[in-house]
């Protein structure tokens, strides 16, 4: 029991989900079978999660003695169920017609979109794997507590030259928002990072004055983040931070982002028929979509499966 408990205690979350993402995407790329493979991949991914949690329950002394009605997660893998739930929705969900569209419309996600995400997932580094499944969303219409400003770490005491070199100035990010339709307000502006693209999402009821401060537009060039106002410059600095580092709470050479996501400004029209609005709605992975349950219902199902495995003392 001690061996398995030590493994679970020392597991690195980012490396674990990177391995899961690479293995899942790689196995699908080798198969020519479409929906059947996606369905079996979703089941296999949930089975892996349930087996890990059942192993933790059976092999950890603390977890073994806890009440069975409680779903226990290893301290280093607290976000593993969230990753599996969102990966199933974001990359493994079945193709369905866009909501509000006719039956003849192209299903979403398209084959090209799915293939591109699988390509990125099969080569995902630990620092970016969670983003491909669960986007980071920040409300940026009203920045406070130093958000959008430079932060220079203070070094207390004498430190080695190598340790000092790991500290870098970075941009303070605002509090994140859950990727759920219920959390997106029509009067606010959001910066959404899905690992591939940075979306500046402007709600349909955002005041014209704020929109002018943050966004510039031109008939020929479209829309872009303003660099002629204080609010626009703060937003530009947030974009720089997300483009440069994979760690949203700081910056160092070990967390430099290997990709350079483009920035797309989306002005919401509040319509499911709008392709840009629809793109943002597809990123709300905390909600139920494509036949997949929302996160709360997903956890209930996982808990039932884990209890069944533990009761039968079966770990596949």
Domains with residue ranges and CATH for the chain: 2-126+291-312 (1.20.120.730), 136-281 (3.40.20.10)
State residue 8's pLDDT score.
78
Asked if residue 8 lies in contact with residue 55, where contact means CB atoms within 8 angstroms, the answer is yes
Q: Is the pLDDT of residue 311 over 80?
A: yes
Rounded distance, CA 8 to CA 77, Å? 8
- 246-259 average pLDDT score: 63
Task: Tell me what pLDDT residue 204 has.
Answer: 92
pLDDT band at 30 (very low <50, low <70, confident <90, very high): low
249 pLDDT exceeds 50?
no
pLDDT of residue 159: 62
CB-count exposure of residue 218 (10 Å: 0-12, 13-18, 19+): exposed
Range among 25-34, 60-69, 171-180 rated most confident:
171-180
Q: What is the pLDDT of residues 156-167, one digit of tens each?
A: 665 666 565 556
- Strands 107-108, 96-97: pairing is antiparallel
Once rounded to an integer, what is the mean pLDDT over residues 249-264? 72
Taking the C-alpha atoms of residue 315 and residue 147, their distance in angstroms, rounded to an integer, is 46
146 vs 278, residue with greater confidence:
278
Averaged confidence pLDDT in the chain: 82
H/E stretch holding 122: helix 111-122
Q: Are strands 197-202 and 262-267 parallel, antiparallel or unpaired?
A: parallel
Residue 102 confidence (pLDDT): 46
Of the ranges 128-142, 234-248, 271-285, the best mean pLDDT one: 128-142
Q: What is the pTM of this model?
A: 0.83
């Amino acid at each position: 029991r001690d061996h398995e408990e030590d493994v679970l205690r020392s597991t690195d979350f980012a490396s674990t989900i990177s391995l899961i993402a690479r293995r899942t995407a790689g196995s699908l790329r080798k198969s020519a079978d479409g929906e059947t493979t996606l369905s079996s991949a979703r089941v296999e991914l949930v089975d892996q999660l349930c087996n890990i949690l059942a192993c933790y329950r059976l092999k950890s002394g603390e977890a073994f003695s806890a009440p069975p009605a409680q779903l226990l997660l290893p301290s280093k893998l607290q976000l593993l169920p969230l990753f599996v739930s969102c990966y199933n929705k974001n990359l493994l969900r079945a193709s369905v017609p866009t909501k509000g569209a006719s039956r003849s419309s192209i299903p979403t996600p398209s084959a090209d979109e799915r293939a591109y995400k699988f390509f990125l997932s099969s080569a995902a580094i630990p620092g970016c794997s969670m983003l491909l499944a669960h986007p980071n969303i920040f409300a940026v219409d009203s920045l406070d507590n130093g958000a959008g400003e430079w932060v220079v770490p203070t070094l207390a005491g004498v430190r080695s030259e190598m340790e000092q070199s790991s500290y870098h100035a970075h941009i303070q990010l605002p509090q994140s928002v859950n990727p759920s339709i219920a959390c997106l307000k029509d009067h606010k502006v959001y910066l959404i990072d899905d690992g591939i693209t940075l979306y500046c999402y402007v709600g349909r009821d955002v005041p014209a004055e704020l929109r002018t401060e943050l966004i510039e537009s031109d008939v020929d060039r479209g829309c872009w983040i303003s660099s002629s106002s204080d609010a626009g410059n703060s937003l530009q600095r947030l974009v720089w931070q997300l483009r440069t580092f994979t760690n949203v709470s700081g910056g160092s050479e070990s967390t430099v982002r290997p990709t350079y996501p483009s920035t797309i400004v989306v002005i919401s029209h509040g319509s499911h028929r709008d392709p840009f609005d629809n793109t943002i709605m597809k990123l709300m992975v905390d909600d139920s979509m494509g036949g997949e349950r929302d996160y709360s219902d997903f956890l209930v199902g996982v808990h039932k499966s884990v209890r069944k495995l533990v009761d039968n003392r079966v770990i596949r």
